[in-house]
Structure 1
Amino acid sequence: MLKEEETLVYSSGELFIQKPDKPPLDLEIDNGRIIYLAIHKKYFGKYYVKNALNTENNFEIHHHIKDSFMNTIRNIYEKNYLEADISFIKMLNYLRVYMETFNNYLFRPTLSTTINKILEYINENYKEPLKLCVIAQELYFNESFISRKFKQEMQMTFTEYLTNIRLYNLAENLILRGEDNEIWEEFGFPSQRTFLKRFKETYHMTPRDFILKTQFYSNSPNAITKAVYTEILKYIKLDDTSASEMS
């Protein structure tokens, strides 16, 4: 995996989590396949049980996410949909804890109350033609200070974050609508040309191709094959054996 100019190598059975408003990862698969699960953001709010979990470290939360993820796939294949729902809800909770506690970004992005106020303002008004100078004035902050602090905390500029949030929400709407008719006008882009350029830079495809690709995955009738199911059982068994040895 190529990520921020670094090469990361994953072995069979390992897990990685992609943040919701980041561009697709550049993956090279050597003699294997990847199980990919995309979760709509509305389910985070619908099923999230606040303060229900007590986790100690990043390794532990990764283990819980992986375990519930694999049991979700297993139960779907076995048509045990009640247990699949329970595993899925557990996974959402662990993912939310992971994103809030160990890998802060979108839900509770920084420890700076100042920057969090800026982010909250952007997230609520991203469809408007926002400028940092106007936001700083409305919230009574110094623009130069905010600009430096924002980049320091978020590892990106105000403009980059605003564009990411717009594209993330716009992509969600593309999936729901199944069409891209003049959608760029609703999300604060100055022109269709600018929108198409930014969209292709982020998702590496046109909006129309993006819609077709998501529809293909959504309508795939045999997404969980027997081969995938067999592999899942191997890792569940390994995890059970490890847990017994530790206890």
Structure 2
Amino acid sequence: MILTEKSQEQIDEYKLWEQYNFTKDICIRNQIIEKYSYLVKIIALKLRGIYQQYGDVEDIVNEGIIALIDVIDKFDLSKNIKFETYATIRIRGSIIDYVRKQDWIPRKVKNDYKSVKEAQDHLTFKLGREPEDKEIATYLELDIKDYNNIIRNAHGTSILSFEELLSEANLREIETSNGYELPEHELEAKELNKILKENINKLNEKEKLVVSLYYKEELKLKDIAKILNISNSRVSQIHTSALQKLEQGINKYLYDSIEK
């Protein structure tokens, strides 16, 4: 039988893993790290909207590499799971956890954003239309730059919380479908994803569209703003509002599950 290039590559990779699992040789581990370090860079770029105001990209990548090493050491070849899939979720979770532990001021961020929302609701009622960013900033006696910072900070915090929930759900789903955890946990993972879909369906049309374009189509907020013909900060507000609703729905499910 003639081996294809791909199958030969898979065999070589399996042998590399076997050697490392048997010997725990640092040199072999370094080869594996070099092979999969690209995952860290991809994840760091995708999560830049979360950490760009609070952390340096080099720190994020370093944290991702540490997570990659940990995953390599703990990876079980006997499980029917692709390493890239499992490592991606673990690395993503570690980066999110690292960012959360940084010196943030979530209470101030939350209070500032609440003021913006109240101003927006007041002006919408008063003007009979959605107010522009400059009008909200003027009403709050804020410089437009400070106003945009409030929106950006609130958006980053909301993404962080929601990404954390998604990482936990995805990790549980991967683990349960490949024998990493007990069978009853598989039902929890499926139920959590079901709850997430139900809560997405409860969003208004604009929120659904923004969430779909951001997560499914993987468009940047500035590109979504162009498509919807609205400002970047308005897209951030819609996205933040959607994530907060989804987070509340999932947390309610988790709380009810504990109560039961």
TM-score normalized with structure 1 length: 0.32
Q: Which has the larger radius of gyration?
A: 2
Greater RCO structure (CA 8 Å; 6+ sep)? 1
Larger relative helix fraction: 2
Taking structure 2 as the reference length, what is the TM-score of the superposition? 0.31
